[in-house]
Structures are given as structure tokens and as C-alpha cells.
Chain A
Amino acid sequence: MATDTHRAIEAVWRIEAPRLIAGLSRLVRDVGVAEELAQDALVAALEQWPDGGVPSNPGAWLMTVAKRRAVDQIRRDETFRRKVEEVGRDLAESTPDIAASVAEDDGIGDDRLRLVFVACHPVLSTEARTALTLRLLGGLTTGEIARAFLVPETTVAQRIVRAKKTLAGAGVPFEVPQGAELAARLASVLEVVYLIFNEGYSATAGDDWMRPALCEDALRLGRVLARLAPREPEVHGLVALMEIQASRAAARTGPAGEPILLADQNRAHWDQLLIRRGLAALEWAEALNGQPGPYVLQAAIAACHARARRFTDTDWERIARLYERLAEAMPSPVVELNRAVALSMAFGPATGLALLDQLMAVPALRSYHLLPSVRGDFLVRLGRPAEARVEFERAASLTRNERERTLLLDRAAAL
């Protein structure tokens, strides 16, 4: 019975934590202190609910307890008092107002958006941003975050403590950045969400090749963001990209667990609900003004695949055009390489080869093994095996991955 209550409390926490912490942050102007107050309220719930039962409005209960502690702390703690006074609050008079200001529902959405920007502040390391975002906005416990990233719980707890200190030390204000700063700060937020998604989609650590729970956490964060910042096309672009990628999760492996390439996936296993949601998010993003950013463009590319009922229906010309725009928005050799592949699918290997030859001349890409590897592919398709062999051998000498080296040398030998 106690365990059931604990599970219920954890569930309530997940639902209420973002709102609770956001509201408290507005009150105390310090995300770290707000999180501690919310945590205290949670501890009180853990003590009281197993006997008294879960209250009918658990969110309000937690908020009341947390507010009471905030007020106590404000009264008690001189340093804290000065801090609050610094931001221009008259404590003597405002104590009753504090309760009122937190109770009002208006602006909670804005508070959560402020919280997002603080949790993803560039002053924090990527690990800290990820942990803090999942903790404050995803409502995950440190234990859950630790399990998701396969690190000890103490590590996550320390990361969060340090992150809160860093934020306080840097005096990061509890506000949504304005003007020119907004774009860069928003990019930082989206990066964190997409990083969480990718950690779930193609795990870089551990034995599981995919951790769907992390994908779901990221999707949830993305959907929340889209509601908080509905005028930002890149937010919808990221949501669209994640929805469409997640739609293929069930088709990425065969019955024996073997990985299946996009070309060979059974598209009947694609999740049509997620595809529809992804396409809708993309439409929303494209309806907003402005130059499409990297996420909108990547989502548009993913949408081309999602719309094709069979692999042979894929609109490669459109994909190639989108990669060209993506290369402008986000220059990267991987993007160029993908563009070359798309060009080869749309117009034949000779067109793809022409782009690759330009890339080969870029000094920075001289040791990039995928370049000769893809070039070898094109040359095979063009019926130039001798040149292809040279490319595969070159790629083999450049890769640091043993399995891939073997594969490339095998291909070279077979020509």
C-alpha cells in the first residue's frame, strides 16, 4: 500500500514539478532554491500522504506547502531576504502577496518558458543542461535520469547541485531572453531536447541500441515547448523532426532484431499517428514567417520519406533541394554528403559524383572516410570498378572502426 502511494506521489511529481518549480522560481527568483522548496514539499508529501491519502488536488497541496516554506525561509534567512530585496521586492508588505502571486494561474506558461531558458543556459555544460531540463521540466527523478544515461545516481545529483550553483554564481536572471539573444538561446534549448531524443534513438552508451523512454521524454519536452513558444518555427520544426523519426522506431529492426535500412523498411510498421503529428507540426512551422532553419529543413527532408508510400516513390529531387538549403543554414560535411547521395538518387551517380569531387578538394575533409566510401559507391554504379577499388581502400585506411575497415576492404577485394 505504501509503495502504491509512493508511485502515486512520483506520478504527481511528474505532473506538477514543472508548474511548481516555475511558479516558485518566479517567487524566489532562483531556480535552485525553487527546486529545493519543491523538493521539500515532495518530502512532506512522502511523509504525509501514505497515511492521510493523496489529496484531491495534489498540485495545490504541494504548492501551498512549498509557498509556506518559502515564506518561512524568507523571514528566517537574512541573506535570502537581501537577495529577494535586490530584485526590488518589499518583503514586509509582499509576504501575503507572494501567496497571491503564486496562486494566480496567469503567467505560469511564461514561467515555465523562463525555466526552460534557465535550465538550458549556455553557462552550463551540456550534461548539466540535459540533467537539469529533465529534472525541472520533465519531472524525472535523479534516479530516473541516472538510469536513462547509465551513470550513477550520485553523479546526476552532483551535476544538478553544481548546475544550480553555477546558475546562482553567474546571476542568470529568471527571464526569457529578448531580441538578438533569443535566437541563440533558443538554439541552445532545442539542442538539449534533440540531444535527449538522439540519446534515446541511437544510444551512444550501454547495451540497448534504443531507449524509447528517452525518446518519449524528448518528444514530450518538445511538445511542451511548442505550446510555450508557438510563434517559433524551429520549435515546431524540431517537434516535427522527432515525431517523424520516432514514427519509424518499430520498423528499424527485423524479426530477429537485425537493423533495417530506410530503403528496406516495411513502411506499414511506421506509426501513422506520429507521422500525421509530425507533418502537422511541419505545416505549422512552414506557415510561420521567416527563413526555415536547420530543424525545419531536416523535418522537411524526413517528411519526404514519410510521405513516400514506397521507397521508389521518394521525391529525391526535393530532398536534394532541401539538403542544398540545409547546407546553407548549417554547413557540414555530413549534410553535403547526404546531398550528394540525394543527387545521385535523383539524377544518377554522375551528378552525385560531381558534388563529391568538389568536396574532395576541401582540405578539412581530406581525412573524412565517408567521402571516399560514398564515392566508391557512385563509381561502382557508374561501372568504374578500378577507381572504386582505390576509393574503398582509401576509405578503409581512414576509418577508425575495425568492422567498417573489414567491410570496406571486402568491397574493394570483390571488385
Chain B
Amino acid sequence: MRFLVITKATADSEAGVQPATEEFETAGKFIEEMVDAGVLLAAEGITPSAQGVRIYFDGDAKTVVDGPFTETKELIAGFFLVEMKSIEECVEWFKRYPAPRLSNGDSTNLEIRRVYGAEDFGDNMTAEQQQAVKERDAKGIW
């Protein structure tokens, strides 16, 4: 199953403070390990909300509002898309995430959310339909 792991913005990330070289290295090592283990599908860092835009929808009205946005700790600073056997495996992996040390001594968090997948949709195929798929695949046509 897939998980979206969201890292949160901090005063530093919102200020566009780049991580120190050594932080880059530890983060890189963490990513390498996930790639080696075959669990990482995608990972990106996100620029400060000052460069972002929000679109508010109210009925038919659409309002475009430029960043920055204020509630720093609720903003996202990056994400990982990973494939794990269970949320527990995802938790164990991300306990190893090298969280940035914040210059103001503040704490941060990351959030793990499961992505909807095949396991969420009821398997309502009839036995006959299942058989048809198996036979079709067995033929290997296409």
C-alpha cells in the first residue's frame, strides 16, 4: 500500500533557509536507503509558501490569493510517496527520518497518510469474470 509522508514547514523552510551540507548528506543517505530497499516511489522538497498560490472556491466564485500563508506548522515543506506493507513499516522507516534541527529550537513533525488503493475497493467481480481475466491473461495476447 502507498503512503504519502508529508514533512511540515518550519520558520527556516518558510524563510528559504537551505539545509546545511551535512543535513543534505544525511537526508540523501536516508533517501538512498529507501531506494535500495525498493520502497521509495517519489520524493520532493517544496519551496516556501511565499512562492505559492491558493485558489479559494466559494460556490462559483474563485479567488486567487498569493502566498505566503501564515499557519507555518500546517504548511507542507516536502513529501515522500512510498510503498509499504503496512503503516507500521512506514512508521519504522520514518522514525529514521533525519528531521531538521531548527535554529529557534522549535520542534517539527511529519504526517503519514495512506493513499487509497485497490484494497479499498470491494472486490465485486463474479467468479466467472475473474475466470475470464485469468484465461485472457493466460493467453498472453497483447
Interface segment among B57-65, B106-114, B122-130: the answer is B122-130
Closest to B40 in A: A223
A259–B132 CB distance below 8 A: yes
Show the binding face of A for B, using Cβ within 8 Å.
Answer: 7-8, 10-12, 14-15, 58, 109, 201-204, 207-210, 212-213, 216, 219-224, 227, 249-250, 252-253, 256-259, 261-262, 273, 277, 305, 334, 337-338, 341, 370, 401, 403-404
Chain B: residues with Cβ within 8 Å of the partner, total of 40
Cβ distance B104 to chain A, nearest Cβ, rounded Å:
25
Interface residue B15 (Cβ < 8 Å from any Cβ of A)? no
Show the binding face of B for A, using Cβ within 8 Å.
Answer: 1, 35-39, 41-42, 81, 83, 85-86, 88-89, 91-93, 117-119, 123-142
Q: Which residues of B contact A370 (CB under 8 A)?
A: 139
Known A227-B35, A256-B124, A257-B125; contact A273-B41, beta-carbon cutoff 8 A: yes
Cβ distance A131 to chain B, nearest Cβ, rounded Å:
17
Q: In the complex, given contacts A249-B118, A250-B118, A338-B141, what are 15 additional A-B residue pairs having Cβ atoms less than 8 angstroms apart?
A: A8-B92, A15-B89, A58-B92, A202-B133, A203-B134, A212-B118, A220-B38, A220-B83, A257-B123, A257-B126, A258-B129, A262-B142, A273-B41, A334-B139, A370-B139
Q: Which residues of A contact B135 (CB under 8 A)?
A: 401, 403-404
Q: Which residues of B contact A222 (CB under 8 A)?
A: 38
Closest to A202 in B: B137
5 examples of A-B residue contacts, CB within 8 angstroms: A8-B92, A11-B91, A227-B35, A259-B136, A305-B142
Q: Which residues of B contact A11 (CB under 8 A)?
A: 85-86, 88-89, 91-92
B142–A253 CB distance below 8 A: no
Residue of A12, A15, A258 touching B125 (CB-CB under 8 A) = A258
Known A213-B85, A250-B118, A338-B140; contact A227-B36, beta-carbon cutoff 8 A: yes
Q: Which residues of A contact B117 (CB under 8 A)?
A: 212
Q: Which residues of A contact B140 (CB under 8 A)?
A: 334, 338
Q: Count the A-B residue pairs with Cβ separation under 8 angstroms: how many?
A: 104
Q: When chains A and B are docked, how far (Å) is the Cα of A75 from the Cα of B39?
A: 39
Residue of B38, B93, B129 touching A257 (CB-CB under 8 A) = B129
Which of B1, B38, B41 has the most CB atoms of chain A within a 10 A radius of its CB? B38
B139–A209 CB distance below 8 A: no
The 7 closest A-B pairs by CB, nearest first: A223-B38, A257-B125, A209-B130, A202-B137, A11-B88, A220-B38, A11-B89
Q: Which residues of B contact A250 (CB under 8 A)?
A: 118
Cβ distance A395 to chain B, nearest Cβ, rounded Å:
12
Known A8-B91, A15-B92, A258-B125; contact A209-B38, beta-carbon cutoff 8 A: no
Q: When chains A and B are docked, how far (Å) is the Cα of A195 from the Cα of B140?
A: 14
B118–A341 CB distance below 8 A: no
B38–A219 CB distance below 8 A: yes
B123–A208 CB distance below 8 A: yes
Q: Which residues of B contact A277 (CB under 8 A)?
A: 41
Which of A208, A209, A256, A261 has the most CB atoms of chain B within a 10 A radius of its CB? A209
Q: When chains A and B are docked, how far (Å) is the Cα of A383 from the Cα of B47?
A: 62
Known A10-B88, A223-B38; contact A252-B118, beta-carbon cutoff 8 A: no
A224–B85 CB distance below 8 A: no
Residue of B41, B85, B127, B137 touching A207 (CB-CB under 8 A) = B127
Q: Which residues of B contact A216 (CB under 8 A)?
A: 1, 83, 85
Q: Which residues of A contact B92 (CB under 8 A)?
A: 8, 11-12, 15, 58
Which of B39, B89, B133 has the most CB atoms of chain A within a 10 A radius of its CB? B133
Residue of A7, A109, A219 touching B88 (CB-CB under 8 A) = A7
Q: Which residues of A contact B118 (CB under 8 A)?
A: 210, 212, 249-250
Known A210-B118, A261-B136; contact A15-B37, beta-carbon cutoff 8 A: yes
A219–B83 CB distance below 8 A: yes
Cβ distance B128 to chain A, nearest Cβ, rounded Å:
8
B134–A202 CB distance below 8 A: yes
Q: When chains A and B are docked, how far (Å) is the Cα of A403 from the Cα of B134?
A: 13
Cβ distance B136 to chain A, nearest Cβ, rounded Å:
7
A273–B133 CB distance below 8 A: no
Which of A201, A212, A213, A253 has the most CB atoms of chain B within a 10 A radius of its CB? A253
Q: Which residues of B contact A249 (CB under 8 A)?
A: 118
Residue of B1, B38, B93, B139 touching A224 (CB-CB under 8 A) = B38
Residue of A203, A220, A257, A341 touching B124 (CB-CB under 8 A) = A257
Q: When chains A and B are docked, how far (Å) is the Cα of A201 from the Cα of B133?
A: 10
Q: Which residues of A contact B127 (CB under 8 A)?
A: 207
Known A204-B134, A250-B118; contact A338-B125, beta-carbon cutoff 8 A: no
Known A7-B88, A213-B85, A220-B39; contact A338-B129, beta-carbon cutoff 8 A: no
Q: Which residues of A contact B1 (CB under 8 A)?
A: 216
Q: Which residues of A contact B42 (CB under 8 A)?
A: 273
Q: Which residues of B contact A12 (CB under 8 A)?
A: 92
